[in-house]
Amino acid sequence: MIRSNPIRLALLGGVLLGLSAVVQAAEPAMVENGMLVDSKGMTLYTYDQDAMGKSSCYDQCAENWPPLAAEAGAMGDDDWTVVKRDDGTLQWAYYGKPLYTFVKDMKAGDMTGDGKGGVWHMAKPE
C-alpha cells in the first residue's frame, strides 16, 4: 500500500484549485487591431437577428457562422456572458450579443464576414 503524505496532498489540492481559478478567469476572446478575436486570432462577429442573450443562428447558419463555444461550467462577468442555445450547447456573448466566427475566414486577421448580408458585423470592444 502506498501512503500519501497529507502535506503533499494539501499542497497539490491548493495548486489545482489555483489553476482552475486561472482557467475560469480567462476571457473567451481578446482584442487585436480594434476587434474581438478568439484564442486562435480569428475575427468574431455579431448577428443582427439575435436578441440580447439569445442566438437565432442554427442549422446552415451555424455551419457558416460557428458559435463561439463556451465549456460547461463557464462563467461570465459584466462584459462576458454564457448563452444557452436552443440545441443545449453554450455560447459566449459580449455585452449580451452572441459571438460567432466565419467559415470563410481562413487565417487569423481575416474579416471577410464583416457586413455580410447587411446583418453580420465584426465584434468590437466597448
Q: Which domain holds residue 40?
A: 29-122
Residue 100 forms part of a structural domain? yes
The predicted model gives 83-97 an average pLDDT of 96
Q: What is the pLDDT of residues 27-74, one digit of tens each?
A: 789 999 999 999 999 999 999 999 999 999 999 999 999 999 999 999
Q: Cα(first)–Cα(last) distance of the chain, in Å?
A: 58
Residue 39 forms part of a structural domain? yes
Residue 102 forms part of a structural domain? yes
Residue 75 forms part of a structural domain? yes
What domain count does the chain have?
1
Mean per-residue pLDDT of the chain: 84
What's the CA gap between 13 and 61, in Å, rounded? 43
pLDDT band at 110 (very low <50, low <70, confident <90, very high): very high
Residue 109 forms part of a structural domain? yes
Residue 21 forms part of a structural domain? no
Q: Please state whether 69 falls in left (phi above 0), alpha (psi between -120 and 50) or beta.
A: beta
Q: What percent of the chain has pLDDT over 70?
A: 79
Which residues have C-beta within 8 Å of that of residue 72, sequence separation ≥ 6? 90
